[in-house]
Homo-oligomer: A and B are copies of this chain.
Amino acid sequence: MALTVKGRATRQRIIEGAAAYLRSDDPAGVTLDDIRAITGTSKGQIFHYFPDGKEELFLAVARYEADRVLDDQQPHLGALTSWAAWDRWRDAVVARYRAQGRNCPLGALMGQVGSTPGANEVVTALLNRWQFHVQEGIVEMQETGLVRASIDPDRVAAAFIAGIQGGVQVLRSTGGVAHLEAALDTLVDYLKS
């Protein structure tokens, strides 16, 4: 399938339109017809650009959303070299998810797509990149002596990822960011102690 400039634009329009729609509404009941209407396209186009249909489209949207997750944390996440930087990062994460509210785009997508290999791969790749950045930050803090050397950067970075994921999970049920904040603050506190 060779795409022209126009074709790429349409494909992208479908992805972004679908992403926006899935972000606002409950994705459980989202149909291809909804997406068709929202993006001002037709069934023909959707299957032209995503031959495997719904699953392929949703996976493309998931990849798109996954990229945004890390983008929204930059530049803080990439330079966790001082306590001030950690605080800014913490605030960025909390702000992002507070704004997002109950509608976690990726979470909802995953609930939809289920546990296909492709879906797991998208999530795993995101979590790996995320954790890597946190780990890098911890290592750098250790090198400058701000964090004691006895802690295991990989392990604590994993704990951060788990804490954030869980905080967001709770947010999806309760609507509050208290757990997310508690997890982040407690772990940062742990690094400082």
- Chain A residues with a Cβ under 8 A of chain B: 26, 28-29, 102, 110-112, 114-115, 120, 123-124, 127, 155-156, 158-159, 161-170, 172-174, 178-180, 182-183, 185-187, 189-190, 193
Contact = CB atoms under 8 A, between A and B. Distances in A.
Contact of A162 (B114, B115, B127, B163): B163
Contacts of A115: 26, 102, 172
Contacts of A164: 162, 166
A172 B182 CA distance: 23
A102 to B, nearest CB: 6
A29 B162 CA distance: 28
A108 to B, nearest CB: 8
A159 B174 contact: no
Nearest to A186: B159
Given A156-B186, A185-B155, A186-B187, A170 B162 contact: yes
B178 A167 contact: no
A169 B174 contact: no
B169 A156 contact: no
Contact of A159 (B110, B120, B187): B187
B189 A163 contact: no
A193 B112 CA distance: 42
Contacts of A110: 111, 173
Given A159-B179, A186-B187, 16 more contacts: A28-B112, A102-B115, A110-B173, A156-B182, A158-B182, A159-B185, A161-B166, A162-B167, A162-B183, A163-B163, A164-B166, A166-B167, A166-B169, A166-B183, A169-B169, A190-B193
